[in-house]
C-alpha cells in the first residue's frame, strides 16, 4: 500500500473541509436597482470571507459537523493527525480519525552503524458514537462517550545495519531489511468526564483493540565485497492487544495536566538470511507520557478544546524476542504537540 506524505494528508483534510463548506454555506447575492451601475465585490474576496466565517462557525460548534487536526513534531520526525465528527442527533454521531507518522533514527556504536526509517498511516473509523449526559460545557453531571469501530494501520520500515564481522574475510558487511505490514481489528473507545468542583474536572479515556489481523511482508539482504545473500517472508497472523489509557485534570478550563500510557504487542515473522528461512518475532512496546496543556475551551463537552498546545515528556520501553535472541531498548524525549 502506498503511504501518503504529510502534504497529501493536509490536502485531503482541506478537500473535506471545502466539500462540507459547499454543503452548509449559503450563497450571498445582492440585487441592484435598474439603471444603476452594478458593483460586484471581487469573487476571491467573497470566497475568502465566507470560508473564514464557515471555519469560525465550525470551531464554535454551530454545525453538526466538527473537525480536529494538529501536529506533533519531534527530534527524529513528525506526526500529523486529523479527526472528523458528524452529529446525527444529540446522542448519536459518527467519526473518523487519521494519523501519519514519519521518523528516522541513526545509531553509531564504534564498528557498527544502523539507520532506521519508519512511515506509517492509520485510520480509525467509528460509525457508532454514543453520548450519555448533558454536553453543555457548564454542566455539573457526568458525561460519557462510547465509540465502536475499526482500527487499520499500514507501516513500512527500512533498516540498514553495517558492521565488520566474520561473515566475510574482508570488507564491510551491510544488512538491509525492508518490512511492510498491515493491521486490522475492531476498536472501542470509552471516555468519561467527571466534574469535581466548579472549575476542576477529571477526564479519563480508554482506547482498546482486543485483537487484530496482521499481514506481513519482509525482505532481507546481506552483502559485502565478496558475496550477496537474501531471503524474504510473508504471512498472516493474529496479535493482541493494543491499549491506550489517558487521564486528564482540567483547571479553570484553560489548563490541563495529562498522563497517557500505551501498550502494544505484535507477533510476526522475520527472514533469516544465514539459514534461508524465517523465524517468529515478537515485539512488546510500552509508552508513558505526561505533561501539561494550555487550551481554549470548547462550547460542548463533545469536543476537548478549540485550540490547544501541550508539552510532554515521553518514555518508551521496547522488548523484542526471536528464536535466536532478545533485545531491550529504552528512550526518553520531550514532545511538543498542538492542534485545534
In a domain, 185, yes or no: yes
Specify the pLDDT at position 31.
Answer: 40
CA 257 vs CA 81, 125, 191: distances in Å: 21, 28, 16
In a domain, 141, yes or no: yes
In a domain, 32, yes or no: no
Specify the pLDDT at position 127.
Answer: 97
In a domain, 166, yes or no: yes
Specify the pLDDT at position 277.
Answer: 55
In a domain, 1, yes or no: no
pTM (two decimals): 0.77
Count: domains in the chain: 1
Task: Please give the residue range of the domain that contains residue 186.
Answer: 67-339
CATH of the domain at 277: 2.40.128
In a domain, 177, yes or no: yes
In a domain, 287, yes or no: yes
Strand 255-272 to strand 65-74: parallel, antiparallel, or no bridges (unpaired)? unpaired
Distance CA 57, CA 92 (A): 21
Specify the pLDDT at position 312.
Answer: 94
In a domain, 42, yes or no: no
Q: Which residues of the chain have pLDDT under 70?
A: 1-45, 47-48, 59-60, 75, 110, 164-171, 225, 269-279, 306, 324
Specify the pLDDT at position 170.
Answer: 55
Specify the pLDDT at position 14.
Answer: 52
Amino acid at each position: 500500500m502506498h503511504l501518503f506524505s504529510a502534504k497529501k494528508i493536509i490536502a485531503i483534510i482541506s478537500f473535506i473541509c471545502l466539500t462540507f463548506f459547499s454543503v452548509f454555506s449559503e450563497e450571498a447575492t445582492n440585487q441592484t436597482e435598474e439603471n444603476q451601475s452594478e458593483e460586484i465585490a471581487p469573487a476571491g474576496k467573497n470566497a475568502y470571507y465566507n470560508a473564514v466565517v464557515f471555519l469560525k462557525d465550525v470551531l464554535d460548534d454551530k454545525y453538526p459537523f466538527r473537525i480536529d487536526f494538529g501536529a506533533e513534531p519531534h527530534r527524529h520526525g513528525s506526526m500529523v493527525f486529523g479527526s472528523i465528527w458528524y452529529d446525527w442527533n444529540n446522542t448519536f454521531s459518527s467519526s473518523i480519525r487519521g494519523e501519519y507518522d514519519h521518523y528516522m533514527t541513526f545509531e553509531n556504536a564504534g564498528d557498527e552503524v544502523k539507520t532506521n526509517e519508519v512511515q506509517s498511516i492509520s485510520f480509525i473509523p467509528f460509525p457508532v458514537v454514543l453520548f450519555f449526559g448533558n454536553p453543555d460545557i457548564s454542566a455539573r453531571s457526568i458525561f460519557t462517550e462510547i465509540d465502536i469501530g475499526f482500527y487499520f494501520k499500514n507501516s513500512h520500515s527500512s533498516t540498514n545495519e553495517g558492521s565488520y564481522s566474520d561473515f566475510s574475510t574482508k570488507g564491510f558487511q551491510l544488512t538491509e531489511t525492508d518490512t511492510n505490514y498491515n493491521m486490522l481489528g475492531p476498536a472501542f473507545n470509552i471516555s468519561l468526564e467527571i466534574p469535581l468542583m466548579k472549575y476542576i474536572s477529571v477526564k479519563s479515556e480508554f482506547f482498546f483493540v482486543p485483537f487484530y489481523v496482521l499481514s506481513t511482508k519482509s525482505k532481507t539482504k546481506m552483502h559485502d565485497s565478496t558475496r550477496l545473500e537474501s531471503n524474504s517472508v510473508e504471512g498472516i497472523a493474529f496479535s493482541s492487544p493494543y491499549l491506550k489509557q489517558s487521564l486528564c485534570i482540567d483547571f479553570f478550563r484553560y489548563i490541563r495536566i495529562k498522563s497517557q500510557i500505551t501498550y502494544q504487542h505484535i507477533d510476526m515473522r522475520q527472514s533469516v538470511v544465514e539459514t534461508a528461512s524465517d523465524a517468529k518475532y515478537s515485539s512488546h512496546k510500552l509508552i508513558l507520557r505526561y505533561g501539561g496543556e494550555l487550551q481554549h475551551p470548547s462550547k460542548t463537552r463533545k469536543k476537548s478544546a478549540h485550540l490547544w498546545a501541550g508539552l510532554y515528556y515521553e518514555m518508551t520501553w521496547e522488548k523484542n524476542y526471536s528464536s535466536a535472541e532478545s533485545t531491550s531498548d529504552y528512550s526518553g524525549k520531550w514532545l511538543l504537540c498542538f492542534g485545534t
